[in-house]
């Protein structure tokens, strides 16, 4: 059973860079799946941030593209998110999620528990 | 890419059926049969309930069903139960390897 676990600092200063990692357990990150980041500001809805394939190919939400970098580390079976020039508007619960390529198309079938990141000085 | 439009809240009594709409555009919901629905209880991660408009993942109750007409997708919950009280989000593939979520709907069981 594949599981995802987010980790990273819970507090980031304004104008700084938010950095999170999602560890994949119970399966290989090199399987036929895209790996995504989704965020949810307090009391608000979900926003897709972007995704990565184990080859390193990425796709980003145009609204965040200039500030987002998603990378993969196959040796550690994990992928990461970096969001630069953060403001209070980036305060949110950040989730990592899996999007299968061969079934359950266009859906996120496995999610991490989420990690709260607050942007504040 | 704008968020898909959902009603802010929907309510029903136990045993009743409710339907949540999800309205997009011809660039997302209207163009692809890749609409999914997620259930989210407070403080928890979203859970996939429906994918590819109307398919249910293994383990999801058959009380949940999905459909689509034009630019609007719908999620129906039949035989409403107390445990169904949660937030529900739709999501659609929007082309160019992009995804867009709905605004979310709070379901209340009266």
Cβ distance of A45 and B102 shorter than 8 Å: yes
DSSP string of A74-114, one letter each residue: TTTTEEEEEE-S--GGG-EEEEEEEEESSSSTT---EE---
Q: Does A46 touch chain B (CB under 8 A)?
A: yes
pLDDT at residue A20, as a whole number? 98
pLDDT at residue B65, as a whole number? 98
Cβ distance of B103 and A45 shorter than 8 Å: yes
Average confidence (pLDDT) over A4-29: 97
Name the residue among B1, B52, B89 with its Cβ closest to that of A46.
Answer: B89
Cβ distance of B1 and A61 shorter than 8 Å: yes
Which residues of chain B, if any, have pLDDT below 50?
Answer: none
Q: Tens digits of per-residue pLDDT, A51-92?
A: 999 999 999 999 999 999 999 999 999 999 999 999 999 999
- By C-alpha distance, which of B97, B107, B91 is closest to B24? B91
B35's tokens? 């609409």
For residue A59, how far is the Cα from the chain centroid?
A: 12
Cβ distance of A109 and B38 shorter than 8 Å: no
The residue to which tokens 């980790």 are assigned = A7
pLDDT at residue A32, as a whole number? 92
Q: Tens digits of per-residue pLDDT, A89-116?
A: 999 999 999 999 888 888 999 999 999 9
The residue to which tokens 């980003």 are assigned = A60
A22's tokens? 């999602």
pLDDT at residue B1, as a whole number? 77
pLDDT at residue B101, as a whole number? 98
Mutate to test the interface with B, among A43, A106, A115 (most CBs of B within 10 A): A106
Instruction: Report the largest interatomic distance among the alpha carbons of chain A, rounded to a whole angstrom.
Output: 44
Distance between CA atoms of B69 and A71, rounded to whole angstroms?
37
Residues of chain A with Cβ-Cβ distance to B3 below 8 Å are: 45
pLDDT at residue B110, as a whole number? 95
Average confidence (pLDDT) over A32-59: 97
At B84, is the secondary structure helix, strand, or coil?
helix
Distance between CA atoms of A19 and A23, rounded to whole angstroms?
13
DSSP string of A28-86, one letter each residue: -TTSSEEEEEEEE-TTS--EEEEEE-TTS-EEE-TTTTTTEEEEEETTTTEEEEEE-S-
pLDDT tops 80 at residue A15: yes
Angstrom CA distances, A40 to A9, A10, A68, B36, stand at 17, 14, 16, 17
Cβ distance of A106 and B32 shorter than 8 Å: yes
Q: Across chain B, how many H-helices and E-strands are there?
A: 0, 9
Minimal C-alpha gap between B52 and chain A (Å): 6
Distance between CA atoms of A22 and B103, rounded to whole angstroms?
25
Distance between CA atoms of A104 and B50, rounded to whole angstroms?
9
pLDDT at residue A3, as a whole number? 98
Residues of chain A with Cβ-Cβ distance to B1 below 8 Å are: 61-63
């Amino acid at each position: 059973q594949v599981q995802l676990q987010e980790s990273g600092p819970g507090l980031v200063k304004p104008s700084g860079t938010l950095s999170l990692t999602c560890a994949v357990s119970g399966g290989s990150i090199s399987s036929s799946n895209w790996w995504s980041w989704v965020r949810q500001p307090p009391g608000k809805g979900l926003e897709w941030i972007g995704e990565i394939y184990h080859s390193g190919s990425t796709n980003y939400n145009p609204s965040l593209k200039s500030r987002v970098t998603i990378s993969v580390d196959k040796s550690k079976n994990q992928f990461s998110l970096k969001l630069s020039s953060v403001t209070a508007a980036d305060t949110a619960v950040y989730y990592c999620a899996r999007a299968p390529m061969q079934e359950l198309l266009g859906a996120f079938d496995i999610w991490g528990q989420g990690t709260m990141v607050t942007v504040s000085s | 890419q704008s968020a898909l439009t959902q009603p802010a809240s929907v309510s029903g009594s136990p045993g009743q059926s409710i339907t949540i709409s999800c309205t997009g555009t011809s660039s997302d919901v209207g163009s692809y049969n890749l609409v999914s629905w997620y259930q989210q209880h407070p403080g928890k991660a979203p859970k996939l309930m429906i994918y590819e408009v109307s398919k249910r993942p293994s383990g999801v109750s058959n009380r949940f069903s999905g459909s689509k007409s034009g630019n609007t997708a719908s999620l129906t919950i039949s035989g409403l139960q107390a445990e169904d009280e949660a937030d529900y989000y739709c999501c659609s593939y929007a082309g160019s390897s992009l995804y867009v979520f709905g605004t979310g709907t709070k379901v209340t069981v009266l």
